Amino acid sequence: MTEYPADTYAPSAEMAAGAHADKAKYEEMYAASISDPEAFWGEHGKRLDWIKPYTKVKNTSFAPGNVDIRWYEDGTLNVSANCIDRHLATRGDQTAIIWEPDSPDDEAQHITYKMLHEKTSIMANTLKELGVSKGDRVVLYLPMIPEAAYAMLACARIGAIHSIVFAGFSSDALAARINGSQAKVVITADGAPRGGRVTNLKDSVDKALSAVEHDCKCLCVKRTGQDIGWTEGRDFWLDDLAAKVSADCPPEEMNAEDPLFILYTSGSTGQPKGVVHTTGGYLVYASMTQEYVFDYHDGDIFWCTADVGWVTGHSYIVYGPLANGATTLMFEGVPTYPDAGRFWATCEKHKVNQFYTAPTAIRALMGQGNGFVEKYDLSDLKVLGTVGEPINPEAWNWYNDVVGKGNCPIVDTWWQTETGGHLLTPLPGAVATKPGSATLPFFGVQPVILEPTSGEEIHETAAEGVLCIKDSWPSQMRTVWGDHERFEKTYFADYKNYYFTGDGCRRDADGYYWITGRVDDVINVSGHRMGTAEVESALVAHPKVAESAVVGYPHDIKGQGIYAYVTLMSGEEPSDELRKELETWVRSEIGPIAKPDLIQWAPGLPKTRSGKIMRRILRKIAEDDFGALGDTSTLADPSVVDELIENRMNRS
């Protein structure tokens, strides 16, 4: 069994005393949440304003063939009313959103709850004007601008289901998601400034819509004022329509189990799947975790650096904080523009109290030296968070020492698009942390470690295997959009009666959880999930490519890099130009985040006699760790392995 770092960091007495939960309170609440989930979540569901209060709390089944998850199923509410309207009387003039633009020379915006109410209502009426009504889907393809939050909340207000597509995805990926959700409207902007460069978002939307057959309108926000293409009758400027509609839009009464959003995410097979989250349970859990995990208190300034295109942005830029009446910071730019001090300059400028980012950003900034951090006054910081991938102890220590000056507990939050909110995480005043461990479960979460092949639960405290969750929590995904069977097959078929996370995990003798990474064919590149199958299908769609196998390999900054083995069509010659061509191809098929870091020309791939590619071997070669390839005797042609080793691309 693996050795664990011995150092632990207990919360200071001061932190524990002021926190929503200290150790005793956490233990008491956790025990209550497990012994009587109905009573626990029945009580905490009251943190929201319900139109019709629920009488039923939990009705969930992980049973094979009958996976069915419902929370608060007879309650009704509206998410935007919970995130906006209910705060107006007490905090109408408080800033809801601080918007920090790409360029530090442009002025930041402070959007109060009153302004948020007006902007959201106008956007909601604009969507209605375009024919959107309850249950319809709206795709958002937007930069990190306040309109992204208005659009999310506007959809929620009228009961439309939003599906955000990260603006870094290509037009092909966008088209697939517009088609997949049969969206009535796509909301975009003319351009997106990031790191001083501008991408033409509208252009991607135009390309995407040319591959969409159903009627889909385009609502365009003016961000840059650049020249863009325009299709009369299909395209509308937000400003034009907004000027004509009323600023009064009563929130629609929604059932707790009505879908709130669809978010496409990568899996181990085939095309990305549409993860469906619903209204009541999702908001209860997102808001409760935002409050407890970051120990958010009234008046604090909260900054999650994610993009709203990912689940982290949904739960911890928009829904969780706003449901709590918080002030949430939204950042349009990148951590290294105009220089590697931007995060810290922004923390100083807006007096940020809780800061939440990804290990890949921490590693990249750590490499730029401490000077960029030390230049700024970070004394308002209280809690630091990380998410997206395992954090290596070196990066953890730098975050702790250099950014937090040893005074800010680090919350390493493990969760997934599917889970809606944090499942494993320390609470800053309650749980002693260990660098690299996501520590302990949040209230109501029952993690288990299963022996991977037998599926038996390992009951000893120290254990290693696959991570599953034994029972439902309120913000669990409900289904795959349009394909409940795929939902059951992906998450409930390998290990019966458990939710299977796809992650490997160890539990140490103290009961702390250490995520070891994905056990399926999903890789985690800079905290972004990528299915190796997706990259492979993009590569084989190129006319010169016969076959391809994609694996992850350790990458200093990105956590994992993308390593592609490519077999060319006969008659095609490998060349550097072709390598570039394939890189560009993948960027345009999926997006820049899917571009292979290394491409190895593979005259043959190691296959079993039945034709199955032996990925285990390809992973080892990509890791430059081919000393222990294991048994290769079942290969149809073992000599291909020697050839691949000989020409491997990653040599340390």
Among 85, 295, 412, 521, binds ligand WTA (CB under 6 A): 412
CA distance 328 to 512: 30
Residue 438 within binding range of ligand WTA, rule CB under 6 A: yes
Q: What share of the chain is helix, strand, coil (3-state, %, to 5)?
A: 30, 25, 45
Which of the ranges 15-23, 245-253, 385-393, 544-552 carries the binding residues for ligand WTA, by CB under 6 A? 385-393
Token pair recorded at residue 303: 């900054």
Q: Is 455 left (phi over 0), alpha (psi -120 to 50) or beta?
A: left
**Contact characters 493-522, ligand WTA, x per CB under 6 A:** --------xxx-----------x--x----
The closest of 328, 388, 331, 338 to 363, measured between CA atoms, is 388
For 640, the enclosing helix (H) or strand (E) is helix 639-646
Identified binder of ligand WTA from the candidate list 416, 446, 588, 650, rule CB under 6 A? 416
Query: In the stretch 264-303, what mask flags binding to ligand WTA with x, by CB under 6 A?
Result: -x--------------------------------------
C-beta of 499: minimal distance to ligand WTA in Å? Answer: 12
Nearest to 12 by CA among 408, 317, 443: 408
| The 109-112 sheet, strands edge to edge | 109-112, 95-100, 327-331, 301-304, 354-357, 383-387, 410-413
Q: What is the DSSP string of 150-178?
A: HHHHHHHHHTPEEEE--TTS-HHHHHHHH
Measured from the CB atom, the residue of 73 and 389 that comes closer to ligand WTA is: 389
487 lines the binding site for ligand WTA (CB under 6 A): no
Closer residue to ligand WTA in complex, CB, 141/491: 491
Give the DSSP per-residue string, 579-599.
Answer: HHHHHHHHHHHT-GGG--SEE
Q: Which two tokens stand for residue 361?
A: 């950003």
Q: How far apart are CA 417 and CA 446, in angstroms?
A: 18
Site string for ligand WTA, 166-205 (x = CB under 6 A): ----------------------------------------
Chain CA centroid to CA 199, Å: 22
Minimum CB separation from ligand WTA for residue 557, in Å? 16
Q: CA quadruple 565, 570, 576, 577: dihedral positive or negative?
A: negative
Asked whether residue 479 is marked as a ligand-binding residue, the answer is: no
- Residue 197 among known ligand-binding residues: yes
**Per-residue string for binding with ligand WTA, 521-550, x by CB under 6 A?**
---x----x---------------------
The nearest distance, CB 243 to ligand WTA, in angstroms, is 38
The tally of CA atoms less than 13 A away on the side-chain side of residue 248 is 0
Query: Helices 615-622 & 639-646, crossing angle to 10 degrees?
Result: 20
Q: Judged by CB under 6 A, which of 204, 413, 439, 479 binds ligand WTA?
A: 413
Residue 529 CB, nearest distance to ligand WTA (Å)?
Answer: 4
Is 388 within any annotated ligand binding site?
yes
- Among the residue ranges 59-67, 88-96, 121-129, 410-418, the one whose residues contact ligand WTA (CB under 6 A): 410-418
Does residue 44 have a known ligand-binding role? no
3-state SS class at 114? helix
Instruction: Decide: 206 and 141 in contact? Cβ < 8 Å.
Output: no
Least CB distance from residue 271 to ligand WTA, whole Å?
A: 16
Binding mask 296-335 for ligand WTA (x = CB under 6 A): --------------xxx-----------------------
- The answer to whether 242 contacts ligand WTA (rule: CB under 6 A) is no
H-type helices in 465-614, by residue range?
Answer: 484-491, 532-540, 576-589
Q: Which of 332, 318, 376 is nearest to 153 (CA)?
A: 318
Does 417 interact with ligand WTA (rule: CB under 6 A)? yes
Binding part of the chain for ligand WTA, among 237-245, 367-375, 413-421, 625-633 by CB under 6 A, reads: 413-421
Residues in the annotated binding site for ATP: 388-390, 412-417, 503, 518, 529
Q: Which residues bind to ligand WTA, rule: CB under 6 A?
A: 265, 310-312, 387-390, 412-417, 438, 501-503, 515, 518, 524, 529
Residues in the annotated binding site for CoA: 194-197, 312, 526, 587
Residues in the annotated binding site: 194-197, 312, 388-390, 412-417, 503, 518, 526, 529, 540, 542, 545, 587
